[in-house]
Amino acid sequence: MDRSYRTPKAWLTKTSGFLQGYDYSLNPYVGCTFACSYCYVRKMPVALFHKGEWGDWVDIKQGVKETFSNELVRAKKRGRVHLFMSSSTDPYQPVEVEEKVTRSLLEVMADNPPDFLFVQTRSPLVTRDVDILQQLGKRVRVSLTIETDLESVRKAFAPKAPPIQGRKRALHALYQAGIPTQLTVAPILPSSDRFAESYVSIADQVCIDTFELGDGANGKRSRALRMPERLTELGYESWYEEAALEKVHQQFCAHFDESRVKLSQEGFLP
C-alpha cells in the first residue's frame, strides 16, 4: 500500500446533491484501502485521475491543529455547521491506527463543536474514540455500514473491509456507550432472513440503501462497475431488483419501529 502526505489548503468542502442538509463534507484521507468493489468513488475523479489503483494507496492529510481548528472557527462564524465525515473515504482507514488524523479532527471538534457531525464508517476502529464521541453528545451520530449478515457475501464484494462480526460488536459498543448510532445497510447485499433480528437493541436507527439509489448517479456508476453482472455470477441476480429493497425494508420494520427505519438519502440527513 502506497501512502503519501499532503497539507490541504482547506479541510471543509461545501456539499450539495445527496448530502443536502449538510454544509460541509470532511475527508481526513484521500483514497480508501478497503477497496469495496461496489464503491461509487471508484468512478469519481479522485480515483480516476490518481496514479495508483484504487485501494492500493491513501493520501494522509496533515496540519489538523494548525489549519482545521481555524477553519472550523471561521465556518461557525458564517453560520450553521453540519458536517459529513466522510463522503469519499472511510475516516477510519487502517493507517488511522498510527496516523490519528480522524482522532485529531474529533479532538478539535470536542473543544469547538459543530452543530452536527455525521460519522460514516465500516471500521471497528471507531470504538477507540468513544471518549471523544461521548463529549459531542447529541451533536454526533455514528453510522456503521453492515451491508449483509453473510460473511461469504462480504468476502465476495469487499474482501479488504473489516469482517461483519467485528463491525457488529463495534456498533453494540457505541450504542452501549450512549452514542447515537445508525446501522447502515448500504448498498443492500444478499443477506439471510435473520439479518434484522440480530441487530435489535444495538442501533438507534437503520438506513437501507441500494446500488441504484445510493451511488450518486441513479445507478450509472454501479452499472459501470458491473454490479448487476457480479450478482448474477454469484447466483444473486434478484438482489439488484427493487424487490430486494422491499424485502429488506419489511424485515427491518418487523423488528424496529418503522419510524426508525430510513430509506436512502433520508437516513443520512442530520
Q: Give the pLDDT score at 55.
A: 94
Quote the domain boundaries for residue 163. Answer: 2-268
Q: How many domains does the chain have?
A: 1
pLDDT digits 0-9 by tens, 170-188:
999 999 999 999 999 999 9
Whole-angstrom Cα distance, residue 208 to residue 188? 7
Rounded alpha-carbon distances, angstroms, from residue 61 to 9, 68, 143: 10, 11, 22
pLDDT digits 0-9 by tens, 52-94:
899 999 999 999 999 999 999 999 999 999 999 999 999 999 9
pLDDT digits 0-9 by tens, 106-143:
999 999 999 999 999 999 999 999 999 999 999 999 99
Percent of the chain with pLDDT over 70: 100
Q: Give the pLDDT score at 214.
A: 86
Over residues 40-59, mean pLDDT:
90
Rounded alpha-carbon distances, angstroms, from residue 83 to 9, 23, 26, 107, 191: 18, 6, 7, 15, 31
Whole-angstrom Cα distance, residue 168 to residue 149? 10
**Predicted structure pTM score:** 0.96
Over residues 35-53, mean pLDDT:
90
Pairing of strands 24-26, 12-14: antiparallel
CATH of the domain at 185: 3.80.30.30
